């Protein structure tokens, strides 16, 4: 008996490895503060819990759910898009429920890719874009992101032969891991590029409602004509502190959404009715709840930004998302700095290289720990002593210049 080549080719999920390291340190008596995962630590709102608990007692909700979800939930999602972005959606044909947005990231390639078809993957980027492509036996090709371009891809630099083979381009703004945001001009360019090359633009917009100050991230569907060439994925995990509930939505191009729904009928049997009731309660929350929650994240962001700068780490202040993306000190790699930080302070962050070759030279810091632990982590980071300085290598600059070796490695994974 032999496990498939597809699965054998996949590296371990990096957060699973991080969890093992944290467990080992704690077993050795270290007071570890993990700032690794974007897993909201604040509680799910009471109205969501109350409706879920009441629904769980109804025997009708304990049976198999419908494949496509409650019509009223799809309508509520369409209402959210109209209210939040001014985007009109047909709830019957342009809205699909997902068991968390990660499911959509993993399964959308099965909808779009035949064996060997190219998917364009941002680097650095969330690893499920790559793994979903591999599961679908597609060919992943990385698109470099760089600080110099504000962590936006240079779509004009994608080779013509690659663009001809591409069927899917992943975008993600507000961005994980960099925290970068995209403006309307970029989305207009992306839609025009997708039209020119007949490539589906898939925009992962999980952090649209984790914002600071006056920031109001866009939906790519706000661009005229976007629904002809784009879909967007959202998550209740980040917006409503519902990470464990596994609720998300795929919206946009009707042909793609309908195909995705057809695929799901062969994979799962719909979303638990009780969870759909919880989602309806979440969508009915007042904007003041989100604003209050975001104020907590903003205080944490500012505290950790100050700590990083005190430790000599350069970083831009994000307008949205749950992450900071500081540049490691000169002469250090992202993994080397992560290890040194852990050994010196007990604070765990994620090496940027875990998100792709072009994440080298950076680390990702999540804001998802209780306030007292964030304050303690900030104190420890600020106290970090500098390592002997040296000349920053070209690898660690984060310039995002295209590297042929990196693309070849990705295509062979």
CA distances 394 to 321, 332, 364, Å, are 28, 12, 20
pTM of the model: 0.90
CATH 3.40.50.720 fits 5-43+288-404, yes or no: no
pLDDT at position 38 is: 92
The pLDDT tens digits for 317-376 are 999 999 999 999 999 999 999 999 999 999 999 999 999 999 999 999 999 999 999 999
Name the fold adopted by 63-285: 3.40.640
Q: Which residue has the higher pLDDT, 116 or 386?
A: 116
Structure tokens given for 184: 């309307």
* DSSP secondary structure letter of residue 326: P
**278, 226, 279, 282: which is closest to 254 by C-alpha?**
226
Q: What is the average pLDDT value for the chain, to the nearest integer?
A: 91
The predicted model gives 248-277 an average pLDDT of: 96
Query: Please, where are the H alpha helices in 202-252?
Result: 236-239
The predicted model gives 133-145 an average pLDDT of: 95
Structure tokens given for 286: 């007042």
Residue spans per domain, the chain: 5-43+288-404, 63-285
pLDDT at position 26 is: 85
Confidence of residue 199 (pLDDT cuts 50, 70, 90): very high
Residue 334 · residue 361 · CB < 8 Å: yes
CA triple 226-211-145, angle to 5 deg: 60
Sheet holding 139-144, edge to edge: 95-98, 248-252, 230-235, 200-204, 166-171, 118-123, 139-144
Pairing state between β 200-204 and 230-235: parallel
Contact residues for 144 (Cβ-Cβ < 8 A; gap 6+): 123, 153, 154, 358, 400, 401, 402, 403, 406
The values of phi and psi at residue 143, to 5°, are -115, 110
How many angstroms separate the CA atoms of 334 and 362, rounded? 5
The pLDDT tens digits for 145-187 are 999 999 999 999 999 999 999 999 999 999 999 999 999 999 9
- Residue 192 pLDDT > 50, yes or no? yes
Contact residues for 263 (Cβ-Cβ < 8 A; gap 6+): 107, 110, 111
- Residue 400 pLDDT > 80, yes or no? no
The values of phi and psi at residue 313, to 5°, are -95, 130
pLDDT at position 19 is: 77
The pLDDT tens digits for 22-58 are 888 888 889 999 999 999 999 999 999 999 999 999 9
């Amino acid at each position: 008996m032999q496990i498939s080549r597809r699965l054998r080719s996949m590296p371990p999920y990096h957060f699973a490895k991080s969890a093992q390291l944290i467990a080992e340190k704690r077993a050795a008596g270290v007071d570890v503060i993990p700032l690794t995962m974007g897993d909201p630590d604040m509680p799910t709102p009471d109205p969501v819990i109350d409706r879920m608990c009441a629904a769980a007692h109804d025997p009708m909700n304990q049976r198999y759910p419908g494949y496509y979800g409650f019509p009223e939930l799809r309508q509520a999602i369409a209402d959210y898009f109209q209210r939040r972005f001014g985007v009109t959606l047909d709830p019957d044909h342009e809205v699909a429920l997902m068991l968390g947005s990660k499911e959509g990231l993993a399964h959308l390639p099965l909808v779009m890719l035949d064996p060997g078809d190219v998917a364009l993957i941002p680097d650095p980027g969330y690893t499920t874009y790559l793994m979903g492509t591999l599961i679908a036996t597609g060919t992943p090709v990385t698109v470099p992101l760089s600080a110099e371009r504000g962590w936006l891809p240079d779509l004009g630099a994608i080779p013509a032969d690659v663009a001809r083979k591409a069927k899917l381009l992943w975008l993600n703004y507000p961005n994980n891991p960099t925290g970068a945001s995209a403006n309307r001009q970029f989305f207009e360019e992306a839609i025009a590029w997708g039209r020119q090359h007949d490539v589906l633009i898939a925009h992962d917009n999980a952090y649209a409602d984790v914002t600071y100050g006056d920031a109001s991230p866009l939906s790519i569907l706000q661009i005229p004509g976007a629904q002809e060439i784009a879909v967007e994925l959202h998550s209740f995990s980040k917006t409503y502190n519902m990470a464990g509930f596994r609720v998300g939505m795929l919206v946009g191009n009707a042909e793609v959404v309908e195909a995705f729904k057809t695929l799901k009928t062969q994979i799962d049997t719909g979303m638990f009715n009780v969870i759909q009731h919880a989602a309806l309660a979440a969508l009915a929350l007042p904007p003041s709840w989100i604003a209050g929650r975001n104020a907590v994240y903003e205080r944490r962001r500012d505290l950790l930004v100050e700590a990083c700068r005190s430790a000599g780490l350069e970083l831009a202040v994000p307008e949205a998302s749950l992450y900071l993306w500081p540049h490691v000190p000169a002469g250090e790699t992202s993994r080397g700095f992560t290890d040194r930080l852990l050994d010196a302070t007990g604070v765990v962050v994620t090496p940027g290289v875990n998100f792709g070759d072009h994440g080298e030279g950076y680390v990702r810091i999540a804001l998802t720990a209780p306030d007292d632990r964030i304050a303690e982590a900030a104190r420890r980071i600020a106290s970090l002593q500098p390592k002997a300085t040296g000349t920053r290598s070209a690898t660690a600059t984060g310039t995002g210049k295209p590297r042929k070796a990196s693309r070849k490695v990705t295509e062979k994974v």
